[in-house]
Structure 1
Amino acid sequence: MAIVKPFKGVRPNPSVAHKVAALPYDVMNREEAKKMAQGNPQSFLHVSRAEIDLDDDVSPYGDVVYQKAAENLKDMMKQGVLIQDEAPKYYIYRQIMDGRGQTGLVACASIDEYLNDVIKKHEFTRPVKEVDRINNFDFCNANTEPVFFAYRAQKEINKIIKAWTDGNEPVYDFTSEDDIGHILWVVDDLEKIDALEKLFKDVPYLYIADGHHRTASAVKVGLKRREANPDYTGDEAYNFMMTVIFPDDELLIMDYNRVVQDLNGLETDEFLEKVAKAFHVQKWQGEGPYKPEARHDFGMYLENKWYKLTAKNEVINEDDDTERLDVSILQKNLLNPLLGIEDPRTDKRIDFVGGIRGLKELEKRVKHDMKIAFSLYPPSMDELFAIADIGQVMPPKSTWFEPKLRSGLFVHLLG
């Protein structure tokens, strides 16, 4: 049973929503964030990346940064840049990229359901990465950014959401600088709010699609508040975290590709000979980079040439949900044994390139600072669900979701 609650959202004044909305905190570095927010005091980056308002020699993880974030959030609310709804509501958030739309429900989910595994995970988290958002949420007394959840599409939920978006005017409708459309509706009808809350109780699980660290951080802030308030009832705002929940049939997982600095001491001919033991190797004769079109096919860019690799049957374990993933096959049969990448989480010789950047980015990286690149076929939502359902995790950097949720369009105050 999924507990999904409406909340009193803090959101932009409609006249400035396009100025407030910002990319998530973790898709840019400090310099890029500062450039993005330059000349725009209403950008939500002043909350999610408050170090941009401080001297460059100030650590981005110092308390002064989180204090500045809290100050900026309060100022935006005082100035009317951000306003809070007086009653709990749901919000419907639609994004449109390249003509494809995805529509999710903005709501609060229970931290207990994360702890009880009703909210399913498919990645490990690293405590060191959680600390930053724990501090941001804690100092701001808010979930300043949403997490990206998915669920197996339910006909009745989709029906209510579609009827609302077809029959009501959105409060925001703008296109961001990266040509992605953002449309938001406020669901303020008590009957519809009640119906959605009841319908989600029949959804057995929610799945974290993107934002495992933000989710874990929100949960830990909630637990910290509980510890400070031992008489808590469970209804307090800090017992819930803000999320956008999408039906799985509207989501797109893009490829998440790899680049490696060297051939681990191997000569090119020797390397190709070793690759051929686990993969069928063909020189790519088509124009441009090779983009895999099916599971177990890979592209490889080496010495200014693209190759098509197809995993041999003997290295594919279709009986294991994790081992049969293409990222697992590549890691187990090439990256580890041939290139010496034992742990892709920590090895500095490997880097990862999201599919949104295109395969030309792989060529660019090889010409600039890498030796070899691999393009992959993306996993499916069914594969993600299957692994999460059995309590396993996908290999690191397996999924890249687009478009990214914009920050600043909704904030959940914790008390």
Structure 2
Amino acid sequence: MPLIRPFAALRPAPGRAADVIAPPYDVLNTVEARTLAAGRPWSFLHISKPEIDLPPETDPHAAAVYAKAAENLKRMIESGVLARDQRPLYYAYRLVMGDHVQLGLVATASVAAYDANRIRKHEFTRPDKEDDRVRQILALNAQTGPVLLAYPDAPEVDRLLAESAEQPPEAEAAAESGVRHTLWAIRDETVIARLSELFEAMPALYIADGHHRSAAASRVAASRRPSGPGHTGNESHEYFLSVIFPHNQMRIMDYNRLVKDLNHLSEAGFLNRVSERFAIEKADNPVKPGNPGEFGLYLGGHWYKLTIRSDLIPADPVARLDVSLLQDNLISPVLGISDPRRDRRIDFVGGVRGLHELERRVDSGEMALAFSLHPTRMEDLMAVADAGQVMPPKSTWFEPKLVDGLASHILD
């Protein structure tokens, strides 16, 4: 089956994008979603976080929540706020965040390619989160949360997308974050066919964000395949909603760490232990590491620059990641946190919050120390995925983020 293919998107009617678009379902809790959707009857949060329309004590995973999502989707279609294109198309999608711009392709990606690891993963998934997405897809008979994918170097794809973005857009709106989202429909059949050919020639695509959404799509497809004849592989459930950007345009920000205590060490004793594996330099300003293998440490009102010994950097694509180097050489042996997924002594802060957020939480006494990291590179993520391995928790923070509601995939 083709790696990707066009689809007839369900998307905001002309002039309604600003009313509809909403942050991804998994970056808001229910209270935040309810506040953000207040006074906005057409916000996609009524579909992606439908518990906001039910009593506050409602379990977000109750059957009534998924039924409410389906009811709200139907209401938005019947009211003409959302409309579906008449034929399968590709779409160009541009994100602008400050001076950062990335332009990608909205398409549906092959479940078979995902199952065969041609669409490559780098994270484990949790069954409960998969279950939630499966139930949402089945209730809506649609995929509404796009999977963020990356494609390797493909200059002709970049050129075709840039040319498509020279036309008047179908939708344009700024999100609450200030990020500007613009969508163009690609209607030229010659361009559609050429994009399909170019992607088919690629060895792989890479999941950047959306492991639970893609895993859920795979489960839904498996459940809908007939046991006997009649299955062609071309059914709509055999593809999942994706936005695919060139890997060299994607922006990964630092994902920093905070720890509650020094594991019964004094500040001097802690720094002495750290010096066994890292060079330590006191800094006059907050430390934003400029290279892999460098880390910032905020402790006792002071910043330090840490540089790991070069002989401690292994060749393995996972073990050589900065998040692994810090975990394996400091957080685990010195601070005694061996399982950062479950240990409540450690917390994680996306770099979009800035280094001053690290200072604030340490200075307040909530945390004892903070680490700033160099962002994981897309090339490192792709190397891990190519090796069939998984990255440590909280390794990547992608910005800018996609929005929900700009394009959805109806399962016919």
TM-score, normalization: structure 1? 0.96
Contact persistence 1:9–1:88 (CA under 8 A): yes
Give the Cα–Cα distance (whole angstroms) in 1 for the partners of residues 132 and 274 of structure 2. 41
Residues 360-411 of structure 1, C-alpha deviations (whole Å, 9 max, x = no match)? 1112222252221110001211111111111111111111110000100000
Counterpart CA distance in 1 for 2:61 and 2:282 is: 47
**Aligned residue for 2:67?**
67
Question: Aligned pair in 2 of structure 1 residues 283, 230: CA closer, same or farther (>3 Å)?
Answer: farther
Cα contact 1:2–1:203 (8 A) shared by 2: no
Q: Distance in 2 between matches of 1:368 and 1:14?
A: 50
Match of 2:171 in 1: 172
Q: For structure 1, which runs of at least 5 residues remain unmatched after alignment?
A: none
What letter matches 1:302 in structure 2? Answer: L
Return the letter of the residue paired with 2:325.
I
| 1:182-261 matches, cutoff 5 A | 182-226=181-225, 231-261=230-260
Matches within 5 A, 1:2-401: 3-166=3-166, 168-226=167-225, 231-286=230-285, 289-317=286-314, 319-366=315-362, 367=364, 369-401=366-398
Give the whole-Å Cα distance in 1 for the aligned partners of 2:223 and 2:350: 34
Aligned length: 411
How far residue 267 of structure 1 moved from its aligned partner, in angstroms, is: 2.0
Amino acid of the residue matched to residue 275 of structure 2? A
Question: 1:349 Cα shift?
Answer: 1.6
| Secondary structure at 1:67 match in 2 | helix
Residues of 2 paired with 1:146 and 1:22: CA distance? 12
SS in 2 for 1:87: coil
8 Å CA contact retained: 1:4, 1:108: yes
Q: Structure 1 residues 172, 368: CA separation in 2 closer, same or farther (over 3 Å shift)?
A: farther
Deviation string 1:318-372 (CA, Å, 9 cap, x unpaired) is x221111110100001111111111111222211111111111112222252221
User: C-alpha offsets along residues 158-184 of structure 1, whole Å, 9 cap, x if unaligned?
Assistant: 121112212x11111222222211111
Aligned partner of 2:240: which letter? M
- The CA distance in 2 between the partners of 1:300 and 1:401, in whole Å, is 23
Amino acid at match of 1:178: S
Residues 16-48 of structure 1, C-alpha deviations (whole Å, 9 max, x = no match): 101100000111111111111110010000000
- Unaligned runs of at least 5 residues, structure 2: none
The one-letter amino acid paired with 2:173 is F
RMSD across aligned C-alpha pairs, in angstroms? Answer: 1.4
Question: Any conservation in 2 of the 1:2–1:202 contact (CA below 8 Å)?
Answer: no
Residues 37-91 of structure 1: CA distance to partner in whole angstroms, max 9, x if unpaired? 1100100000001111111111011111111111111111111110001100111
Q: 1:229 to 1:263 in 2, by over 3 A?
A: farther
Instruction: Sort the Cα spacing of 1:192 and 1:284 in 2 relative to 1 into closer, same or farther, 3 A.
Output: same
- Per-residue CA deviations over 1:250-274 (Å, capped at 9, x if unaligned) read 1111101111121122222211111
Shift of 1:230: 6.9
Deviates more, 1:363-372 or 1:231-240: 363-372
One-letter amino acid of the counterpart of residue 333, structure 2:
P
Letter of the 2:48 partner, please give it: S
Deviation for aligned residue 1:227: 5.6
**Is the 1:291–1:299 contact (alpha carbons within 8 Å) kept by the matching residues of 2?**
yes
One-letter code aligned to 2:108: C
Q: Supply the distance in 1 between the matched residues of 2:74 and 2:228 (Cα, whole angstroms).
A: 24
Q: Is 2:12–2:171's contact at 8 Å kept on the other side of the alignment?
A: no
The answer (yes or no) to whether the contact 1:96–1:181 under 8 Å persists in 2 is: yes
Q: 1:360 to 1:230 in 2, by over 3 A?
A: farther
- For the residues of structure 2 that align with 1:339 and 1:73, how far apart are their CA atoms? 48
Distance in 1 separating the partners of 2:264 and 2:61: 38
Paired with 2:154 and 2:80, the residues of 1 have a C-alpha distance of 37
Query: Where do 4+ consecutive residues of structure 1 move more than 6 Å?
Result: none
Contact 1:262–1:349 (CA under 8 A) maintained in structure 2: yes
Distance 2:54 2:301 in 1: 43
The answer on whether the counterparts of 1:11 and 1:409 sit within 8 Å (CA) in structure 2 is yes
Structure 1, 372-381 or 215-224: larger mean CA deviation: 215-224
| Distance in 1 of aligned mates of 2:120 and 2:59 | 34
Q: Between 344-353 and 64-73, report the one with greater CA deviation.
A: 344-353
Question: What's the offset of the Cα at 1:129?
Answer: 1.8
- In the alignment, is the contact (CA less than 8 A) between 1:111 and 1:222 conserved in 2? yes
Distance 2:72 2:144 in 1: 12
For residue 135 of structure 2, what is the amino acid of its counterpart? N
Distance 1:49 1:180, change over 3 A: same
Judging changes above 3 Å, is the alpha-carbon distance between structure 1 residues 111 and 41 closer, same or farther for their aligned structure 2 residues?
Answer: same
Determine helix, strand or coil for the equivalent of 1:35: helix
Aligned residues of 1:261 and 1:350 also touching (Cα < 8 A): yes
Alpha carbons of 1:174 and 1:238: their partners in 2 closer, same or farther (altered >3 Å)?
same
Distance 1:124 1:192 in 2: 36
Shift of 1:231: 3.6
Residue 74 of structure 1: SS of its match in structure 2?
A: helix
